[in-house]
C-alpha cells in the first residue's frame, strides 16, 4: 500500500510518531532533503545529528527539535534501510512507532552492544571436549556472538583446526559458508546413530558400573560420573527419542551401584532408602549425594593419610641432584600459618620471622626432633653412598626407616 501525503506528514509530526513540530518539519527538514519516509534511507546517525544541531541553532525561536524526536528519527531511518535491504515494502503500518519501530529500536541498541562486546573464546574439539560435547558449547558461543556467515566459518575453522573434523570444512571454504559447514558437521558426526550410542554408553554407566569403596577412588568422583552421564542423556534426548530417568529412579540406580562393607555408609544408605519425605534425599539427587559423600570411607581414609604427609622428597645435595623421600614426616600448620615440615635453607630464609620462630619451637618437640633426626641420618647415608659408588639419591620412606632403626 502506497503511503499517502497525509500519512507521511502524520508520521513526522504526530506526537505518537516522530513528534517533530510542524514548523520544523516544513520547511527546515524539507530543506535538508527529508521530505518523505522513503527519503530517510539517505540519512545515517551522524547526518541526522548535524541536521539537529543546525536547526537548534538556526531554526525558529520557541520551537524545539527535541532529543526524543531525534532518537526516533534515527531508528526510523535505520528501519527504512533495513526494509529496503530485505526486499520489504514500506507501509504506514510497518512505520508505526508504538507498534513496530519502538521494538526495532530496542533490537538496534542490542545489536550495537553486541558489536562492541568482545566475542567469547571459541571452544576447540579435544579429548577433554569431544565432538558431541563440543556441539552444545559451540552453539552457546554462536548465540553470544555477533557477525555474519563468514565469521561463523572462521570460528568453525578455529575450533576444528588440527583435527580430522577440519576436512568437513573444505567444501565450504571458498564461499565461507559457516552455516552450511556447521550443519554438514552435525549431519556427519552427530546423527541419530551417534546420539543413540551416546545414550547406550551413559545408560550402561548408571545402571551397570559399581563402586566398591575398597581402593582410593572416592565416592564423590563416582557420583560425579553419574551426574555427567545424566547430563549427557539430557543432551542426547534433544536429538533422539529417549525417556529421561526421574530423580527417584536416578537415586535408585546410584544406591544399587554402591557395593561396600563399610557400616557407616551402609547406615546412610538405609536412612536414605527409608526416607519418604518428598523433599528428602530419596527424591532429591543433590541431597542424596551430599549425605553419601559425608559417609564416604575412602574420602575419610585419604584425608587421614594426607594429613600425615608434608612433602614427598627433600633435596639433600643440590649439586648431585639427590633427594630422599620423606613420606613419614607428619604435617601440620602452625598458628602463624607455617607448614611444620622440613625446609631447605633457601626456603627457610624466605619465611617471616614469626614463622621461623614457631618452626624453631616445633623442632624442639618430639615430633620435630624425630623429623630432624631422620633428615640428618638421610644426609649421612647419602654421603656414604656417594663415596662407595654412584647410586640414585632417592631412598624410599620404608627403607629409610629400616636403616635408621
Per-residue pLDDT tens for 137-148? 888 777 766 668
Q: Is residue 124 in some structural domain?
A: no
Same domain, 257 and 278: yes
Give the mean pLDDT of 211-215: 87
Same domain, 326 and 256: no
**What is the distance between the alpha carbons of residues 22 and 63, in angstroms, rounded to a whole number?**
9
Give the mean pLDDT of 335-349: 76
Same domain, 289 and 277: yes
Which range has the worst mean pLDDT, 57-71, 110-124, 292-306? Answer: 110-124
Q: Is residue 230 in some structural domain?
A: yes
Q: What is the residue range of 214's domain?
A: 193-302
**Of 302, 337, 368, the domain-final residue:** 302
Give the mean pLDDT of 273-282: 92
Same domain, 167 and 202: no
**What is the distance between the alpha carbons of residues 297 and 215, in angstroms, rounded to a whole number?**
10
Give the mean pLDDT of 23-51: 93
Give the mean pLDDT of 385-397: 47
**What is the distance between the alpha carbons of residues 90 and 88, in angstroms, rounded to a whole number?**
7
The pTM for the full model equals 0.45
Q: What is the dihedral of CA 51, 56, 60, 62, to 10 degrees?
A: 150
216: number of Cβ within 10 Å: 8
Does the pLDDT at position 116 exceed 70? no
Question: Average pLDDT of the chain?
Answer: 82
270: number of Cβ within 10 Å: 11
Q: Is residue 126 in some structural domain?
A: no
Q: Angle 131-143/219-236 helices, nearest 10 degrees?
A: 70
DSSP per residue, 117-155: SPPPPPP---SSS-HHHHHHHHHHHHHT----HHHHHHH
Same domain, 162 and 197: no
Which range has the worst mean pLDDT, 76-80, 217-221, 331-335, 396-400? Answer: 396-400
Highest-confidence segment of 59-63, 300-304, 321-325, 352-356: 59-63
Same domain, 21 and 95: yes
Same domain, 48 and 90: yes
Does the pLDDT at position 321 exceed 70? no
Return the exposure string of 193-212: e unless at least 16 CB atoms fall within 10 Å of the residue's CB, then b.
Answer: ebbeebbeebbebbeeeebe
Q: What percent of the chain has pLDDT over 70?
A: 82
**What is the distance between the alpha carbons of residues 42 and 179, in angstroms, rounded to a whole number?**
32
DSSP per residue, 229-291: HHHHHHHHTTTS------HHHHHHHHHHTB----HHHHHHHHHHHT---TTSTTT-HHHHHHH
Q: Is residue 104 in some structural domain?
A: yes
**What is the distance between the alpha carbons of residues 322 and 146, in angstroms, rounded to a whole number?**
57
Same domain, 183 and 203: no
Does the pLDDT at position 246 exceed 90? yes
**What is the distance between the alpha carbons of residues 286 and 66, in angstroms, rounded to a whole number?**
57
Same domain, 210 and 256: yes
Q: Is residue 175 in some structural domain?
A: yes
Total number of domains in the chain: 4
Q: Which residue has 570460528 as its cell numbers?
A: 155
Q: What is the dihedral of CA 22, 27, 31, 36, to 10 degrees?
A: 40
Does the pLDDT at position 381 exceed 70? no
**Of 302, 328, 356, the domain-final residue:** 302
Same domain, 180 and 228: no
pLDDT at 319: 42
365-372 LR contacts (CB < 8 Å, sep 24+): 367/330, 367/340, 368/340, 371/326, 371/329, 371/330, 371/341, 371/342, 372/342
Same domain, 79 and 171: no
**Of 86, 116, 146, the domain-final residue:** 116
Does the pLDDT at position 207 exceed 90? yes
Q: Is residue 284 in some structural domain?
A: yes
Amino acid at each position: 500500500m502506497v503511503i499517502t501525503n497525509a500519512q507521511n506528514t502524520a508520521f513526522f509530526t504526530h506526537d505518537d510518531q516522530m513528534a517533530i513540530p510542524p514548523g520544523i518539519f516544513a520547511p527546515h527538514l524539507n530543506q535538508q532533503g527529508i521530505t518523505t519516509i522513503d527519503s530517510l534511507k539517505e540519512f545515517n546517525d551522524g547526518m541526522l545529528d548535524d541536521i539537529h544541531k543546525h536547526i537548534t541553532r538556526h531554526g525558529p525561536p520557541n520551537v524545539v527539535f527535541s532529543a526524543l524526536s531525534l532518537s526516533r528519527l534515527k531508528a526510523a531511518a535505520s528501519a527504512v534501510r533495513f526494509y529496503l535491504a530485505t526486499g520489504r515494502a514500506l507501509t504506514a503500518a510497518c512505520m508505526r512507532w508504538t507498534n513496530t519501530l519502538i521494538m526495532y529500536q530496542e533490537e538496534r541498541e542490542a545489536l550495537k552492544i553486541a558489536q562492541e562486546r568482545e566475542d567469547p573464546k571459541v571452544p576447540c574439539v579435544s579429548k577433554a571436549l569431544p565432538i558431541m560435547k563440543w556441539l552444545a558449547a559451540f552453539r552457546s558461543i554462536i548465540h553470544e556472538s555477533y557477525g555474519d556467515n563468514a565469521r561463523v566459518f572462521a570460528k568453525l575453522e578455529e575450533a576444528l583446526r588440527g583435527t580430522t573434523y577440519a576436512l568437513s570444512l573444505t567444501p565450504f571454504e571458498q564461499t565461507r559458508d559457516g552455516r552450511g559447514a556447521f550443519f554438514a558437521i552435525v549431519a556427519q558426526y552427530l546423527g541419530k546413530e551417534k546420539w543413540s550410542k551416546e545414550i547406550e554408553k551413559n545408560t550402561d554407566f548408571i545402571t551397570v558400573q559399581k563402586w566398591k569403596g575398597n581402593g582410593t577412588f572416592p565416592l564423590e568422583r563416582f557420583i560425579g560420573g553419574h551426574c555427567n552421564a545424566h547430563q549427557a542423556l539430557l543432551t542426547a534426548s534433544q536429538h533422539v527419542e529417549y525417556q529421561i530417568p526421574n530423580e527417584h529412579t536416578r537415586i535408585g540406580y546410584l544406591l544399587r551401584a554402591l557395593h561396600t562393607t563399610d557400616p557407616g555408609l551402609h547406615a546412610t544408605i538405609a536412612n536414605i532408602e527409608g526416607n519418604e519425605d518428598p523433599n528428602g534425599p530419596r527424591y532429591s539427587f543433590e541431597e542424596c549425594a551430599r549425605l553419601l559423600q559425608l559417609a564416604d570411607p575412602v574420602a575419610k581414609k585419604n584425608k587421614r593419610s594426607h594429613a600425615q604427609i608434608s612433602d614427598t622428597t627433600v633435596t639433600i645435595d643440590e649439586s648431585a641432584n639427590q633427594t630422599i623421600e620423606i613420606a613419614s614426616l607428619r604435617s601440620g600448620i602452625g598458628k602463624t600459618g607455617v607448614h611444620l615440615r622440613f625446609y631447605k635453607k633457601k626456603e627457610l630464609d624466605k619465611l617471616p620471622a614469626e614463622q621461623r620462630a614457631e618452626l624453631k619451637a616445633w623442632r624442639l618437640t618430639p615430633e620435630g626432633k624425630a623429623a630432624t633426626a631422620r633428615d640428618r641420618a638421610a644426609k649421612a647415608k647419602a654421603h656414604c653412598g656417594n663415596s662407595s659408588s654412584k647410586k640414585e639419591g632417592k631412598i624410599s620412606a620404608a627403607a629409610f626407616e629400616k636403616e635408621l632403626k
